[in-house]
């Protein structure tokens, strides 16, 4: 059965329907094969999260293997597994992996000569040591855990030299988690949907990451008056002048100052 991966418009969705094959698995679907072309893929390819009203939970092995038209690929929230050699020998350069992802199987992104950046928006991904085998442009610092929101913790990491071994001693802290580019991607693809936004805002304030607060407002986050008060307490306690000023301005604009 052929079907779609979509970007932002219904027209684009309909155009892409003939380039994906889906297989039904109980009350969900899996992507089993792609025949996407360069013309339909474009610069950024956002795969669909649902098909016929049911969630898509898996990309099967070899589904995008040998595809020469991929550049940036966004895997949607809801995908839990990416199968063996799913994107092997493809032209993908950047891949954004969702919070929901639980498993990357052997060689999922192996032999991708142009792969330069991988962003994990979750913190529970398990993967085999050869997931990124023979990806010469992929350096360890470009395999990022986008949102380590549970706590600072140890997580497997791709070896900087060979991209074929997994290190278990690389700690992802909140500073790394809130890199500007990763944070903006997370906002753009609504990857915070499953997170406690108050906790994210609290961590931004604790780390004095003033440049990220306006991004949350631009993305439509609504900070309650109670939350603003909590963040002000944190910023004042630590002497964060710029964050304090931004929060006071936000409080004035949204709620007005109260005696």
Residues 81 and 130 in one domain: yes
Residues 75 and 186 in one domain: yes
Domain end among 192, 215, 244: 192
- Which domain range does residue 102 map to? 2-192
> Using an 8 Å Cβ cutoff, are 70 and 92 in contact?
yes
Residues 135 and 227 in one domain: no
Residues 173 and 218 in one domain: no
Residues 24 and 105 in one domain: yes
> Using an 8 Å Cβ cutoff, are 109 and 83 in contact?
no
Residues 162 and 104 in one domain: yes
Interior angle at CA 74, CA 118 and CA 67, nearest 5 = 85
Q: What is the mean pLDDT of the chain?
A: 75
* Bridge partner residues of 170 (DSSP): 155
Our count of domains for the chain comes to 2
Residues 176 and 86 in one domain: yes
Rounded to whole angstroms, how far apart are CA atoms 251 and 76? 34
Domain end among 157, 192, 227: 192
How would you write the pLDDT of the chain (259 residues) with one tens digit per residue? 333 333 444 555 545 667 888 898 889 988 888 877 665 556 778 888 888 889 999 999 999 999 988 888 889 888 999 999 999 999 999 888 888 888 888 889 999 999 888 887 776 677 766 788 888 887 665 565 544 332 222 233 333 333 333 333 333 345 555 666 667 766 765 656 545 688 788 888 988 889 889 988 888 888 899 999 999 999 999 999 999 999 999 999 998 866 4
Domain end among 177, 192, 207: 192
Q: Are strands 143-145 and 72-74 parallel, antiparallel or unpaired?
A: unpaired
Residues 139 and 211 in one domain: no
Task: Give per-residue pLDDT as tens, 22-74.
Answer: 898 889 988 888 877 665 556 778 888 888 889 999 999 999 999 988 888 88
Residues 8 and 78 in one domain: yes
């Amino acid at each position: 059965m052929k079907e779609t991966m979509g970007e932002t418009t219904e027209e684009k969705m309909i155009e892409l329907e003939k380039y994906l094959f889906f297989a039904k698995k109980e009350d969900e679907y899996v992507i089993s094969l792609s025949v996407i072309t360069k013309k339909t893929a474009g610069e950024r390819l956002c795969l669909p999260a649902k098909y016929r009203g049911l969630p898509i939970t898996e990309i099967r092995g070899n589904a995008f293997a040998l595809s020469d038209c991929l550049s940036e690929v966004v895997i949607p929230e809801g995908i839990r597994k990416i199968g063996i050699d799913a994107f092997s020998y493809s032209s993908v350069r950047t891949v954004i992996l969702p919070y929901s992802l639980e498993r990357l199987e052997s060689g999922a992104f192996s032999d991708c000569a142009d792969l330069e950046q991988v962003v994990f928006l979750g913190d529970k991904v398990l993967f085999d040591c050869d997931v990124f085998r023979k990806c010469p442009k992929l350096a360890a610092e470009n395999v990022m855990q986008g949102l380590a929101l549970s706590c600072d913790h140890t997580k497997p990491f791709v070896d900087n030299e060979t991209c074929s071994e997994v290190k278990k001693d690389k700690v992802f802290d909140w500073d790394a988690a809130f890199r500007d580019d990763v944070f903006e991607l997370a906002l753009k693809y609504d990857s915070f949907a499953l997170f406690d936004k108050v906790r994210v805002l609290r961590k931004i304030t604790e780390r004095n990451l003033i440049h990220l607060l306006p991004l949350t407002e631009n993305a439509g986050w609504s900070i309650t008056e109670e939350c603003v008060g909590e963040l002000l307490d944190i910023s004042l306690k630590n002497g964060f002048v710029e964050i304090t000023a931004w929060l006071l301005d936000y409080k004035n604009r949204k709620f007005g100052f109260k005696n």
